[in-house]
Structure formats: structure tokens, C-alpha cells
Amino acid sequence: MSLCTLYESKDNPLFQKMIENVIKNEPRVLEKLVSTTPVFAQKFEETSRQLEKLVLENVVTQEWDVRPFEDILGFKMDTIYSVYKLLKVYPNAAELLFQYPNFVSRLESCITFRLFNLLFWISL
């Protein structure tokens, strides 16, 4: 996914061909994707709970420290963007990612909560 994030662009069809060849000739790449999908889903859920806890704590104390929010939101944004770039380069990966139960809803909640927090920060 990191390579897709760094090198994918409309002007680089050679990169897409390279990724397709790597996946075709090295099945362990897709096996690794399948094995890490539950970890992504778990981290989405954990970080959403962490954000909820931070929001509640900060509402109660009225002491807003943005650093923990930035760390968690940065992680979520990076992960979402990486998944997006992977799917853009190799759309067939969607079948593997979405086989995991609730992956789509966890990804969606990650995005939704991120948007909620951005709107919240803008309103301060």
C-alpha cells in the first residue's frame, strides 16, 4: 500500500502494470493484505473509541490539547488514503478487503467520525 500511496498517479500507467505483475507473480502479497485487513479494521475501531474518549474528556475539562487528536486523525487519514490508493492501482484488492466482516462499515465510521471532528474543530 505504501508504494501505491507514494507512486500512483494518472501519468504513471507503468506503475500500475508493475503492481499487477508483482501480485500475479508473488501471491504472498495478497495473502499479506488478507492477513492485515482485520488489523486495519480493529485499529479503525480502537481509534474511533479513543477519539470519542478524548472529545468527552475535553468537553468536561474544557482543556483542549490538539496533539492527541492530530495523532489519531493523522493515522486514520493516512490509512484511508493508503487503502484508496491501493484500490485505485489494483481494484481487485477490494474483493479481498471487503471479505472481512464489517470492514466497509468500520471504514465508513472512521471517515464519518473524522469529518465530525473536523467540523467540530472548525466551529471552535
| Of the candidates 68, 97, 63, the residue with the CA atom closest to the CA atom of residue 80 | 97
Q: What residue segments make up the domains of the chain, in order of their start?
A: 2-123
Grid cell, residue 6, equals: 507514494
Which pLDDT score is estimated for 117? Answer: 58
- Pair 49, 111: CB distance under 8 Å: no
In eight-state DSSP terms, residue 91 is T
* pLDDT, block means (10 residues), the chain with 124 residues: 67 81 87 83 81 76 75 81 84 81 68 58 53
- The reported pLDDT for the residue numbered 115 is 57
- Residues 89, 54: Cα–Cα separation, whole Å: 35
What does the pLDDT read at residue 116? 59
